[in-house]
């Protein structure tokens, strides 16, 4: 299908936008349901062909399918998003897609199926020029284990990345995202009968109780670094000194050097009880999206925003990670939070504000046109 002729950035069809968003929300796609994610991805691919004339390449990694739309020539701007959600199958039956004036709700509409529709309609609004690529994944909500390498590969080959994740409150873009490192600490003690000879045991739960506050104290609030023990288990039976224990650790920091500091500190944990051992496993890291990687794009975004007369709050820093962390991590300039305007991500009743989201689509289209017209290197 041939691409639509160029149109003015203001020429957006709200009904078509709502229809496309409704189509995507109507297909439940929790990350763990590969069939649901594949069906939602297929619908996105069909909408992309209809709205932009572009055909997507389907890439399967580890059983998960992802969609990549490549331009004819080099990718100057990559639009990045995901179609998976946190909502289990059956949620739509009690909470359907609903439009009530400016309020649009449904599971996954804010995070981030409306953002995918924004990407398609913004691209169509400027005539689907060459140079715009789009990558849509299906495992972002659980850490992008199958898509990370693909994201990084595509990001290295493009000039800039615009992430269609939901905006911050009021439509603010996200110019800084903290990096996320996850760890598992395993503690080994020695079992003994709790009534007959507890002194012969090494209590792994007691060692865990000593380690948790020590780990939490590694945080540095002055620079926004958080260290949060999250899940913990210990012991086997009521009458046995626990021989093993485990806890997980969530680390978030806005700077790479802080993530490196924490990795070293956690690797060096020492037991406090004689006979106990502590072993820390690094489970993975999303590098931070630092301001140096977003500054140039943010400046151009602001110029376009002012030209279009759109008023937004100041850019935001987010403690949550996205796939934009990976693109920034390979050195590609990245601006995040260019998706839907609304509230309630991952919460019952998540919603978008229609007019503000359409304004965001106009702004996204204007930014695309600016980057393609002025060159984005």
Q: Residue 171 and residue 155: Cα distance in Å, rounded?
A: 25
Is 140 annotated as catalytic? yes
Active-site option among 20, 28, 84, 165: 84
Structure-block tokens of residue 148: 């990370």
Q: Residue 219 and residue 357: Cα distance in Å, rounded?
A: 36
List the Cα angle 62/64/67 in 5-degree steps: 125
Q: Residue 151 and residue 34: Cα distance in Å, rounded?
A: 19
Active-site option among 139, 140, 141, 258: 140
Torsion of CA 35, 36, 42, 44, to 10 degrees: -160
Region of residue 310 (left: phi > 0; alpha: psi -120 to 50; beta: else): beta
Cis amide bond preceding 172, omega within 30: no
CB 160 within 8 A of CB 324: no
Q: Residue 276 and residue 236: Cα distance in Å, rounded?
A: 17
Region of residue 32 (left: phi > 0; alpha: psi -120 to 50; beta: else): alpha
Q: Is 44 helix (H, G, I), strand (E, B) or coil?
A: helix
Terminal alpha carbon distance of the chain: 30
Structure-block tokens of residue 375: 């060159």
**Could you give the count of Cα atoms lying within 13 Å of 149 in the half-sphere of its Cβ?**
7
Q: Which residues are catalytic?
A: 84, 140
């Amino acid at each position: 299908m041939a691409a639509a002729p160029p149109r003015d950035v203001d020429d957006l069809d709200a009904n078509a936008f709502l229809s496309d968003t409704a189509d995507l929300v109507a297909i439940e796609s929790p990350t763990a349901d590969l069939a649901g994610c594949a069906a939602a991805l297929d619908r996105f691919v069909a909408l992309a062909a209809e709205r932009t004339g572009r055909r997507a390449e389907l890439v399967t990694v580890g059983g998960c399918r992802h969609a990549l739309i490549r331009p004819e020539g080099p990718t100057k701007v990559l639009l990045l998003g995901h179609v998976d959600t946190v909502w289990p199958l059956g949620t739509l039956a009690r909470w359907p897609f609903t439009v009530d004036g400016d309020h649009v709700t449904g599971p996954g509409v804010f995070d981030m199926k409306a953002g995918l529709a924004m990407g398609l309609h913004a691209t169509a609004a400027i005539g689907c020029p060459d140079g715009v690529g789009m990558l849509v994944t299906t495992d972002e909500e659980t850490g992008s284990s199958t898509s990370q390498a693909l994201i990084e590969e595509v990001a290295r080959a493009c000039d800039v990345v615009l992430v269609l994740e939901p905006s911050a409150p009021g439509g603010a873009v996200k110019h800084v995202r903290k990096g996320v490192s996850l760890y598992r600490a395993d503690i080994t003690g020695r079992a003994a009968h709790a009534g007959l000879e507890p002194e012969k045991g090494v209590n792994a739960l007691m060692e865990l109780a000593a380690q948790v506050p020590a780990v939490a104290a590694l945080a540095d609030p002055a620079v926004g670094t958080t260290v949060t023990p999250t899940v913990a288990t210990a012991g086997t039976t009521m009458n046995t000194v626990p021989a093993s224990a485990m806890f997980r650790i969530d680390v978030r920091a806005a700077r790479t050097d802080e993530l490196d500091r924490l990795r070293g500190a956690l690797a060096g944990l020492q037991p406090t009880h004689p006979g106990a051992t502590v072993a820390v496993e690094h489970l993975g890291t999303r590098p931070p999206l630092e301001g140096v990687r977003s500054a140039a794009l943010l400046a151009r975004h602001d110029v376009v925003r002012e030209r279009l007369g759109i008023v937004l709050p100041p850019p935001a820093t987010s403690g949550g990670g996205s796939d934009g962390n990976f693109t920034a991590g390979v050195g590609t300039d990245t601006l995040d939070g260019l998706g839907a305007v609304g509230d309630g991500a991952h919460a019952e009743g998540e919603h978008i504000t229609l007019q503000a989201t359409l304004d965001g689509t106009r702004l996204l289209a204007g930014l695309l046109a600016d980057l393609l017209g002025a060159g984005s290197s």
